[in-house]
Chain A
């Protein structure tokens, strides 16, 4: 299954005078598990609502398999939608909730029963079929909501932060379940989340949205190895930025004189370095070195986060093994592998 399942072209949505989504264009591959990632208020849920048909875009087109969905109301789009809240109908029991969509499609009783039973078994709630929804736990409620969407065998499954109200363990469990269900059914899934760790873990494609725009789209690794922009790098946890300039394919850091090859056009640029790339102890011969002074060290469970004030340069944070002993205030040398760090264009939009 390849090809484009969902395509958005120049989609724009205004809420009053505030643009929620600005000229969004993206293709979502059939059978993919795409995370629509971004901070709250970036327009990701609005985008999902437009895919699902609950909102109409002001401009642009939404297509499923090449067919425009403009003017097609939510109830007639082949999309299953699960919200942050389970929204189980309180006047129906578990089974009736799951059967709701099939009832709306006027499927006969026997078929409905078979499909409801099989999907409830699949989400491990077979024994709960006759329960009232008020008797379920948060995780069970969200599994029923998932079953209720999946039982319709939708062409696309849209999940709007479905686990954000669950606690951490339950969330991890649900992520596994959703991942398994996707692997089995290969239904094109769009998953809205603000949690980049969740996006990386669960999705095979990430579409990063910031401020109503698509900031970058690619597999999760890309956002670590080759972030498309400075803001994207920041969103994925880059803390170290060495500003500088690109001149004829070479980046030079303003402060430390560190050089990197760059494919960007000439102009201001930033070398972004993930904290775990910087080494504190005995840099090997292949590494670039920078001199500085350790000013702070924080224990962070799996590692030690050490702030180093570079000589004549910015403060950088390095992650070191917890066993490392750091003498605060003492001069030291940090190492950076030759291939470490990524040069991205300086962000003029979000300057300062």
Chain B
């Protein structure tokens, strides 16, 4: 009814009247989207602002909005050879990288099985894969810690890496399973018909086709490992000092500046990694298989 009366009112230019709202709507939707994205960014990044300020604060007392003087003491502590922070950075990066690689290596065949094949007990396998995410890792770890001790895997990286596979493999398997479910398996048949044996089909066709999903799985498992605290503490027994462990220790002390500086160091690499991965993946969204766009 309203459209009719409006059209009559417009009189001389009915076509213009008809096309205008169509042209206008996407624009307002886009503005809305931008607004939403902006709000989300603010919500995510705003809490980091005080952290950033704290990390370079010299003296900062109660009623002041901003620190009275800035200092590089916090930053200095990070690179101080006497603190074990740089070493912690290396330990964290090493463990997270190893966990990401191993989780993807295990998640790849698992994902292939749940994504591609319809076999008896598939649901059960899917549930078993998910269970480490559902059951609190702390409870499970307390149980299996005995075995880690018995096989001399506790208190070392050799134990921390396997135990961190517990919360990471499920995600890798689920992400790669979804990618396999979207993969047209005829690509592999075609590659075989062109003379590629099983190994080369995997290397030259399947892995490149799934590269976006593999990247996402690696990124996510890296991030999980990077921020893992409880499992590292339990199995590492305080001997394996990753950044989260050092951070908790710093928070416990009264030096807020040092803790804030360390927190920034913990947050920065994953943030940069996510930004870089998003850039990389969205540029290659034409890859056909899911997860092209993060």
Chain A interfacial positions (CB closer than 8 Å to B):
52-54, 73-76, 79-81, 83, 85, 87, 89-91, 100-101, 103-105, 132, 134, 148-149, 152
> Among the listed B184, B193, B196, which residue makes an inter-chain contact with A81, where contact means beta carbons less than 8 Å apart?
B193
* Chain A residue with the shortest CB-CB distance to B200: A104
| Residue from A73, A100, A105, A152 whose CB has the most chain B CB atoms within 10 Å | A100
| Residue from B186, B189, B209, B287 whose CB has the most chain A CB atoms within 10 Å | B189
Question: Contact: B193 with A74, CB < 8 Å?
Answer: yes
Tell yes or no: B152 within 8 A of A by CB: no
| Residue from A73, A87, A148, A149 whose CB has the most chain B CB atoms within 10 Å | A87
> Among the listed A87, A101, A134, which residue makes an inter-chain contact with B187, where contact means beta carbons less than 8 Å apart?
A87
* Chain A residue with the shortest CB-CB distance to B197: A75
Residues of A within 8 A of B75 (CB): none
> Among the listed A75, A80, A87, which residue makes an inter-chain contact with B186, where contact means beta carbons less than 8 Å apart?
A87
Residues of B within 8 A of A152 (CB): 194-195
Residues of A within 8 A of B50 (CB): none
Question: Contact: B189 with A89, CB < 8 Å?
Answer: no
CA A148 to CA B189, docked complex, whole Å: 14
Question: Contact: B193 with A85, CB < 8 Å?
Answer: no
Question: Contact: A90 with B186, CB < 8 Å?
Answer: no
CA A132 to CA B204, docked complex, whole Å: 17
Question: Contact: A80 with B193, CB < 8 Å?
Answer: yes
Min CB gap B293→A, angstroms: 15
Residues of A within 8 A of B193 (CB): 52-54, 74-75, 79-81, 149
CA A74 to CA B198, docked complex, whole Å: 10
Residues of B within 8 A of A85 (CB): 184, 186
Q: Mark contacts of B75-92 with chain A using CB atoms, 8 A cut-off: 1 yes-contact digit, 0 otherwise.
A: 000000000000000000
Tell yes or no: B192 within 8 A of A by CB: yes
Min CB gap A313→B, angstroms: 50
Tell yes or no: B208 within 8 A of A by CB: yes
Could you pull out 28 A-B pairs where Cβ atoms are within 8 angstroms?
Answer: A53-B192, A54-B189, A54-B192, A73-B197, A74-B189, A74-B192, A75-B194, A75-B195, A79-B193, A81-B189, A81-B190, A81-B193, A83-B189, A83-B190, A87-B184, A87-B186, A87-B187, A89-B208, A90-B288, A91-B209, A100-B196, A100-B204, A103-B204, A104-B200, A104-B204, A148-B194, A149-B194, A152-B194
Tell yes or no: B7 within 8 A of A by CB: no
Which residues 162-197 of B sit at the A interface, judged by CB distance below 8 A? 184, 186-187, 189-197
CA A104 to CA B209, docked complex, whole Å: 18
Tell yes or no: B63 within 8 A of A by CB: no
Q: A54-B189, A74-B192, A87-B186 are in contact. Are A134 and B197 (CB under 8 A)?
A: no
Question: Contact: A89 with B195, CB < 8 Å?
Answer: no
Question: Contact: A100 with B191, CB < 8 Å?
Answer: yes
Tell yes or no: B26 within 8 A of A by CB: no
| Residue from B190, B193, B195, B200 whose CB has the most chain A CB atoms within 10 Å | B193
Chain A-chain B contacts (Cβ-Cβ < 8 Å), number: 67
Min CB gap A288→B, angstroms: 53
Which residues 222-270 of B sit at the A interface, judged by CB distance below 8 A? none
Tell yes or no: B98 within 8 A of A by CB: no
Residues of B within 8 A of A73 (CB): 192, 197
Tell yes or no: B112 within 8 A of A by CB: no
CA A32 to CA B143, docked complex, whole Å: 69
Min CB gap A136→B, angstroms: 12
CA A148 to CA B205, docked complex, whole Å: 15
CA A52 to CA B194, docked complex, whole Å: 10
Q: A104-B200, A134-B286 are in contact. Are A87 and B190 (CB under 8 A)?
A: yes
Min CB gap A15→B, angstroms: 13
CA A90 to CA B183, docked complex, whole Å: 12
> Among the listed A83, A87, A101, A134, which residue makes an inter-chain contact with B195, where contact means beta carbons less than 8 Å apart?
A101
CA A87 to CA B205, docked complex, whole Å: 11
Question: Contact: B288 with A101, CB < 8 Å?
Answer: no
Residues of A within 8 A of B184 (CB): 85, 87
CA A74 to CA B8, docked complex, whole Å: 70
Q: A75-B197, A85-B184, A104-B200 are in contact. Are A91 and B191 (CB under 8 A)?
A: no
Question: Contact: B208 with A104, CB < 8 Å?
Answer: no
* Chain B residue with the shortest CB-CB distance to A49: B189
Min CB gap B179→A, angstroms: 14
Can you name 5 extra interface pairs (CB under 8 A) apart from A80-B193, A87-B190?
A73-B197, A87-B184, A90-B287, A104-B200, A149-B194
> Among the listed A91, A100, A134, which residue makes an inter-chain contact with B194, where contact means beta carbons less than 8 Å apart?
A100
Residues of A within 8 A of B195 (CB): 75-76, 101, 104-105, 152
Residues of B within 8 A of A148 (CB): 194
Residues of B within 8 A of A104 (CB): 194-196, 200, 204
Question: Contact: B286 with A90, CB < 8 Å?
Answer: yes
Question: Contact: A91 with B287, CB < 8 Å?
Answer: yes
* Chain A residue with the shortest CB-CB distance to B287: A90
Question: Contact: B192 with A91, CB < 8 Å?
Answer: no
Question: Contact: A89 with B196, CB < 8 Å?
Answer: no
